[in-house]
Amino acid sequence: MKLKQTLIVAGFVSGLVISPVAKADETAEVIKTLRQQIDALDQKVRVLERKRELDQDTLVETAKAAPRITIGNNGLNISSGDTNFAFALHGLLQADNRSFFKDGGINGNDSFSLRRARPIFQGTVYRDFDFLFVPDFGGSTVQIFDAYLNYRYQPWLQLRAGKFKPPVGLEQLQSDVVTSFNERSLANALTPGRDIGFQLWGDVADGRLSYAVGIFNGVADGRNTGNADFEDHHEFAGRIFAQPFKKTSLSFLQGLGLGVSGSWGNVSSNSTGLSNGFLTDGQQSFFAYTNNVVASGNHWRLSPQAYYYYGPLGLLGEYVISDQRVQRNVGANIFTADLQNTAWQIAGGWVLTGEDASYNGVTPKHPFDLSAGHWGALQIVGRFAELDLDKATFPTFANPGVSASAAQSWAVGLNWYLNKNIRINASYSHTDFTGGGAAKSTTAPGIVTRQPEQVLFTRLQLAF
C-alpha cells in the first residue's frame, strides 16, 4: 500500500510539472495512464499479499501435522501433530540391598539385588485406544508384567483387555515407583498380582468416584498369572472408590479417599490356585502349605480401604479377607476346609521439606542442586501390618512347628527424592512371628520363624 501512495504522489507531482506546458487533453491522458499503472501495481500487491497469507496458512498446517518429539523427566514422547497417535518410552530401575540382623545363621539372605528393571512402552493409536507393555528384567527370570489395550470412549467409560492388576487392594494398585517402602506390606500378601482378563472401568464426576469391574482367569493370593490359563472357572473382581471432597473448597478434606474392593471365583483342585506361601518384608517365607494341599472350591476376597493426604501428611490403611476352600489327599483320605485368612496395615508419612504428599508420590519443589543449595525432598515414613492364618489351617494343611500362624511387622524409613526421577530409600523393618520356629529346621519357613526378622533396606531408584 505504501507503493501505491508513492505512485499517486509521483503522479500528482508529474501533473504539476506537465500541466503548464501540455494541453488539457494531453494532461488527462497522462493522468489516465498513471492511474492505470497504479491500479495494475495495486492489483499485483494484493495478489502478493494473498499469496503470503496462503503460504503462512500452509506453514501453520504443516506445523500442525508434523510429529512432535519431546525428551524430559517424563521420558521420550513422540506424537503425531493431531495427537491421535502417540508413543512414550519410560523406564524403572531399582537397585536394592537387604542386610539382616540376628538371623539365626540363615545363609544367603544378605544381598544386593536388581529388584526391578523395566522398560515401559505405552501410547495411543487412533485417539481412543491406549496400550501398555511392561516386561521386567529384574530378578532371576524375564517376565511380562503388564500388556493390555484400553479403549477410552470417555473418562467414565473405558474397557481394558490383557494382563494387568485386578482391582483388589489399595497398596497393590499403587505404582511400584511411588510405594513408601521397598516392599509392600503383609496385607498385600492376600491380594492378587497380575492376571489376564477384561475390565470395565472409569472415573465419574471429575474423579470423585472411580469404579472397576472385571472378569479374569483367576490368580492365587500374592501371585502373578502366566500368559495362559487351563482352569475352566473364572474370577470376578470389582472396586469402587470415592473422593467426595476432591473438588470442594474444603482443602483439608480434598485428599480423603474411601473404598471397597473384592473378588469371587471357583477353583477345581488346582495347585496354582493356591498361594505359594507368605513372605516377610525381607521376602523370606514364614508360612507354607503342606505337600498335596490344593485350592478346591470357592475363593473370595473383601478389602475395605482408605487414604488421607493433606499437605505433607499422608495416611493409608486397608483390611483384607481372603477365604479359600482347600483340599488335601492323604492316601484314601480327603481333607477339606474353608480357610479364612486376614491381614491389615496402616502406613503414614510426613514430607519434612514441605511438599505435598499424595497417593502418586512426592515431587520436589527444588530438585537436588548443590551449587544452588537445593537438596530435593525428604520424607519420613512408618508402617504397622499384621497377617493372621486361619486356625483350621493347622495341623492338617500346614505344619505348626515350621510355619507361623501369624506375623506382625513394623517399619520406619526415610525417603530422599533428589528430583522427580531419582530417589534413595532407607528403612528398617522388624517382624515377630506366632508359631513356627522348629529348633531342627534348617530351611524356610522353620529357620525364618525361629527368631524375629530384623532387616535394613536401601534402594537407589531411577524412574522416568
C-alpha cell at 282: 525381607
What pLDDT score does 62 carry? 66
C-alpha cell at 369: 542442586
User: Are 47 and 181 part of one and the same domain?
Assistant: no
Residue 13 lies in a domain: yes
Whether 201 shows a pLDDT value over 70: the answer reads yes
Closest CA to 343 of 326, 362, 321: 321
User: Are 36 and 105 part of one and the same domain?
Assistant: no
Q: Cis before residue 367, ω within 30 degrees of 0?
A: no
Contacts 24+ apart (CB under 8 A), 61-68: none
Q: Could you read off the pLDDT of 107-134 as tens digits, one per residue?
A: 878 999 999 999 999 999 999 999 999 9
Please give the Cα distance from 319 to 331 (Å, whole number).
38
User: Are 33 and 104 part of one and the same domain?
Assistant: no
What pLDDT score does 18 carry? 46
What pLDDT score does 231 carry? 64
Q: Could you read off the pLDDT of 252-310 as tens digits, one per residue?
A: 999 999 999 999 999 887 778 899 899 999 999 999 999 999 999 999 999 999 999 99
Q: Which has the minimum average pLDDT: 35-49, 86-100, 273-287, 371-385?
A: 35-49
Please give the Cα distance from 277 to 341 (Å, whole number).
12
Residue 432 lies in a domain: yes
User: Are 58 and 110 part of one and the same domain?
Assistant: no
Whether 320 shows a pLDDT value over 90: the answer reads yes
Full domain range(s) for residue 32: 2-63
CB 274 within 8 A of CB 398: no
What pLDDT score does 242 carry? 98
Q: Could you read off the pLDDT of 371-411 as tens digits, one per residue?
A: 999 999 999 999 999 999 999 999 999 999 999 999 999 99
User: Are 37 and 170 part of one and the same domain?
Assistant: no
Q: Scanning the structure block, which residue is given the C-alpha cell 521420550?
A: 76
Please give the Cα distance from 73 to 310 (Å, whole number).
26
User: Are 54 and 103 part of one and the same domain?
Assistant: no
Q: What is the pTM of this model?
A: 0.85
Residue 145 lies in a domain: no
Whether 14 shows a pLDDT value over 50: the answer reads no
Which of 42, 63, 84 is the last residue in one of the domains? 63
DSSP H helical segments within 215-268, as ranges?
Answer: none
CB 68 within 8 A of CB 88: no
Whether 6 shows a pLDDT value over 60: the answer reads no
The size of the chain, in residues, is 464
User: Are 234 and 299 part of one and the same domain?
Assistant: yes
User: Are 53 and 178 part of one and the same domain?
Assistant: no
Please give the Cα distance from 217 to 273 (Å, whole number).
10
* Amino acid, res. 42: D
Q: Could you read off the pLDDT of 141-153 as tens digits, one per residue?
A: 899 999 999 999 9
- Count of domains observed in the chain: 2
Neighbours of 186 (CB within 10 A): 27
CB 172 within 8 A of CB 186: no
